[in-house]
Every structure is written in C-alpha cells, then in structure tokens.
C-alpha cells in the first residue's frame, strides 16, 4: 500500500480516518485492516436495531446517525480522510422501505459530503456496489453486446430466467462488465448507491477532493449479517444449515455471481485509501474475487462444508434480482497493486472457523 499523507502535508500515515458504518459486517473488518496499517480510526455508526442486536466492543466508536449534521461534525474533527460504509443494505423487502433507503443512503451521504467540505477533508473512499450495473454484460451472436431490459413476470413465472436479446429474442452469452459499462440500477438500494456515486463526484468537482468508489460484489465471511430480511444469500444459506435445513436456491441456481471474501474487501479499501493522493478526482473500481461462480455453487459448497442437507432448487424468484452480474476487477488490481487472497473454498473454510477477528463476537447482525 502506498503511504498516506495528512491534509496538512505531513508525511507518514494519516493521523485520523473517519470510518462510517464501522461497527457493521464489512466495517469491522475494514477497521481491523486500518488499525493494522497504523492509522487512528474514529467510527461513526448509528447501531440501528434492525442490524445490531448488541453493542459491539469497538475502540473509537461514536454512536450517531450519518444524517445528523451535529454527529457528523463531531466525528470529522481532526480527520484526514473518510471511508464511507454506512448504508441501509440489501435488495429491500417492499416499497415501504423506499423512503428509508433514500434517507439513510442518499441523504446520509449528502450530509457527510457537506460536512467534509466545511472541514476541508478532501479524501473519500465510498462503498458502492455492483448492483449499480443492473444486469451484467451480454452478447448476442447476431447483434453483439446488448443490454437486456428488466425480466418480465410472465417469463419468470414460467421458469424462463435467462434474459433474451432485446432485438431478436435469441439467447445471450453473459460476460464480465468493467467500470465503463452503462449503469442501470433495478431496485431502490441500487438507485441509492448510484446516487451516492453521483453526489461524491459532484463534491469532488466542487471541492477539489478525490473519491474512490468501490463497487463491492457479493461479500461473505465471518460476522456477516444473519436472521434479517436484509442478509445476503450466503448468510441465508448458512442460517438454514445451522437450523439443519437445506439451503433454498431461487430460480434454477445458475445465476452467475462473484463471491468475494470480506477480508479481501477490507484490503482493497485500505489499498484505495492509501493511494488517494495519486488517484483521479473520481474513479470507480469493481471489487471481486475474479472468479465466476453460481448461486447454486455457493449453496453446494456451504452444504458440503457443513455436512448438511443438499440444496433445494425452488424455482422461486424475487423481483428486482438480476440474472447474471460478474465483473472484471482489473482496474483495481492495476491501480493499487491489489489482489484477493481467498477463493470460494478457502473463504468458506474461514467462514466455518469463524475467523480470528470476530470469533466470539456478535455474529447475528
């Protein structure tokens, strides 16, 4: 990792980094990484009850809402850079969640950026998501690269899960998206994550700041949220296996994803934070393992590792889910000399061990 410099031109590691959402799943791993890198960390987290069942023991924790200007001002005192992870996550349960997503994510990011301008903090790593792309990259034999529209309910009801070519309706070949691909958010969470990128880019232009927007893929690992409607698919499968039940796989299980271990996410965030001085004013980076797997693969790997019942493919679906989304992380690797340390097998083994960082902690969030 390159050396960070303070906002007053001091050499050496940053005196202080504000980590929003630092008490959450990804945040605690990022906190561990930053402390190991020698930084002084302030954590701002609201500890919202739908995420946190217990108050975590975390040094430097300030309890406050990212939408509260007073709390944000207090947390930014003396800070040299911000890593912004705080967000309401997940696809969303229903439309009743829409205003909470927009308030927590879009408004929260705007309050933070405004305060950063006042405090003259000009370095930001922003946690975005691969969901900003909508569907992944597809090619048609007759029409080349195409962008399929949202899948139709009548097709999903009939088990026709693959999106067809929007021009000729022929089958498509899925591929990898890069950061130049058009964005097409298809649920409320995705829309707020992309809105946060736009707000951060506008802030960078107006202040001369620098932003690295990290588009995380499907994150799993020790401490991942469980027993909540907002948990990811790996957590849902694990919770089923803990109950002695078979993981229930939606659609036909062939949905392509990139499952990335949370420690690799943390090292990528740390690497981006360490190179902001040499980075463009705004740049987005895909953060994935670089290995394409299916949701069915994940369910089978977890069931095998747990010695539990085999997955059940249900044919059910969720509106707002996309069929395939995998991306190239080449830009991140080249810009920050970063590479992941975990493949799916070693990552699941670490998950079953509980991981040294969070062993004995609150694993139910």
d(C-alpha 227, C-alpha 223), whole Å: 12
Q: Taking a C-beta distance cutoff of 8 angstroms, is the pair 19, 9 a contact? A: no
d(C-alpha 49, C-alpha 169), whole Å: 46
The position carrying tokens 């959402």 is 21
Name 281's Cβ contacts closer than 8 Å, sequence gap at least 6: 201, 204, 205, 208, 209, 210, 211
R_g of the chain computed on alpha carbons = 20
d(C-alpha 13, C-alpha 274), whole Å: 9
Taking alpha carbons only, the member of 136, 148, 142, 218 closest to residue 174 is: 136
The position carrying tokens 């130049």 is 180
- In a 10 Å sphere around its CB, with 0-12 CB exposed, 13-18 middle and 19+ buried, how is residue 344 labelled? buried
Catalytic residue chosen out of the listed positions 189, 220, 317, 342: 189
For 10, half-sphere exposure in the C-beta direction (CA atoms, 13 angstrom radius) is 9
Q: Taking a C-beta distance cutoff of 8 angstroms, is the pair 39, 19 a contact? A: no
Q: Taking a C-beta distance cutoff of 8 angstroms, is the pair 232, 261 a contact? A: no
DSSP code, position 36: H
Residue 189 falls in the annotated catalytic set: yes
E strand or H helix at 17: strand 17-20
Residues acting as catalytic residues: 189
């Amino acid at each position: 990792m390159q050396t960070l410099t303070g906002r007053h031109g001091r050499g050496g590691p940053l005196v202080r980094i504000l980590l929003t959402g630092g008490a959450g799943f990804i945040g605690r791993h990022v906190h561990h990484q930053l402390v190991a890198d020698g930084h002084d960390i302030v954590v701002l987290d609201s500890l919202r009850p739908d995420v946190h069942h217990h108050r975590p023991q975390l040094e430097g924790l300030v309890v406050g809402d990212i939408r509260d200007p007073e709390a944000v001002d207090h947390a930014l005192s003396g800070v040299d850079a911000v890593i912004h992870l705080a967000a309401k996550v997940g696809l969303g349960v229903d439309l009743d969640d829409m205003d909470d997503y927009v308030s927590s994510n879009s408004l929260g990011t705007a309050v933070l950026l405004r305060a950063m301008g006042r405090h003259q903090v000009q370095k930001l790593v922003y946690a975005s998501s691969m969901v900003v792309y909508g569907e992944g990259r597809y090619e048609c034999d007759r029409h080349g690269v195409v962008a399929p529209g949202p899948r139709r309910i009548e097709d999903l009801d009939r088990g026709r899960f693959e999106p067809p070519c929007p021009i000729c309706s022929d089958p498509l070949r899925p591929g990898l998206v890069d950061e130049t691909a058009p964005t097409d958010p298809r649920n409320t969470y995705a829309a707020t994550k992309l809105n946060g990128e736009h707000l951060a880019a506008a802030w960078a232009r107006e202040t001369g700041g620098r932003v690295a927007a990290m588009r995380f893929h499907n994150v799993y690992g020790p401490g991942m949220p469980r027993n909540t409607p907002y948990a990811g698919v790996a957590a849902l499968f694990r919770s089923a296996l803990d109950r002695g039940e078979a993981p229930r796989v939606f659609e036909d299980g062939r949905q392509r994803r990139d499952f990335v271990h949370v420690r690799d996410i943390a090292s990528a965030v740390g690497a981006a934070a360490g190179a902001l001085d040499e980075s463009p004013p705004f740049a987005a980076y895909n953060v994935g393992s670089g290995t394409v797997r299916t949701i069915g693969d994940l369910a089978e790997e977890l069931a095998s590792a747990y010695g539990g019942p085999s997955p059940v493919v249900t044919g059910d679906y969720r509106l707002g889910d996309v069929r395939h989304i995998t991306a190239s992380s080449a830009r991140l690797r080249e810009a920050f000399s970063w590479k992941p340390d975990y493949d799916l097998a070693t990552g699941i083994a670490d998950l079953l061990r509980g991981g040294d960082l969070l062993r004995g902690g609150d694993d139910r969030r």
